[in-house]
Amino acid sequence: MKKEIHLISPRGFCAGVTRAIDVVNIALEKYGPPVYVKHEIVHNKSVIEELKLKGAVFIEDIKDVPQGAPLIFSAHGVSKLVVNEANEKKAITIDATCPLVTKVHVQAKKFSSQGYHIFLIGHRNHPEVEGTLGQLDSSEITLIENTNDVSLLKTNFEKVAFVTQTTLSVDDTKEIINQLKIKFPKIVSSAKEDICYATTNRQNAIKKYAIGCDKFIVVGSRNSSNSSRLVDVAINAGCSDAVLLDSKDELDLDLYENAKVIGISSGASVPEDLVLDIVEKFKSKYDVEIKNFELQKETVSFNLPKNIRR
- Residue 296 · residue 201 · CB < 8 Å: yes
* 210: exposed, middle or buried (Cβ count in 10 Å: 0-12, 13-18, 19+): buried
Edge-first strand listing for the sheet containing 261-266: 242-245, 215-219, 261-266, 3-9, 288-294
- β-partners of residue 37 are 58, 72
Strands 56-59 and 3-9: unpaired
- Residues belonging to the active site: 128
Return all residues near 24 (Cβ < 8 A) that are at least 6 apart: 35, 37, 41, 51, 56, 72, 96
Alpha-carbon gap, residue 175 to 155, rounded angstroms: 19
H-helix or E-strand containing 244? strand 242-245
Straight-line distance from the first to the last Cα atom of the chain, in angstroms, rounded to the nearest whole number: 52
Alpha-carbon gap, residue 268 to 40, rounded angstroms: 14
Alpha-carbon gap, residue 266 to 10, rounded angstroms: 9
Distances (CA, A) of 206 to 57, 91, 250: 35, 42, 21
3 state DSSP class of 201: helix
